[in-house]
């Protein structure tokens, strides 16, 4: 039972990691697009 629980936990973690990387790539593209459309004077 515990083995199955750990397996599910690892599976969810790997899924989450890949989803997070996918979202991170997309958010980087969005940030770059926003930076290009905004004036260069605005800096974070």
pLDDT tens, residue by residue, 33-44:
776 766 655 555
**Residue 42: what pLDDT?**
55
Structure-token match 């974070």, residue found: 44
- Three-state SS across 1-44? CHHHHHHHHHHHHHHHHHHHHHHHHHHHHHHHHHHHHCCCCCCC
- Whether residue 6 is predicted with pLDDT greater than 80 in this model: the reply is yes
Question: In this structure, what token pair is assigned to residue 14?
Answer: 């790997």
- Give mean pLDDT, residues 6-14: 89
Give the mean pLDDT of 6-19: 88
Choose between 34 and 2: higher pLDDT.
2
Q: What is the pLDDT of residue 37?
A: 66
Residues 22 and 25: their CA atoms lie apart, in Å, by 5
């Amino acid at each position: 039972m515990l083995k199955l629980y750990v397996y599910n936990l690892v599976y969810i973690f790997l899924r989450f990691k890949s989803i997070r990387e996918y979202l991170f790539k997309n958010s980087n593209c969005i940030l770059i697009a926003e930076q290009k459309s905004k004036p260069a004077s605005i800096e974070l």
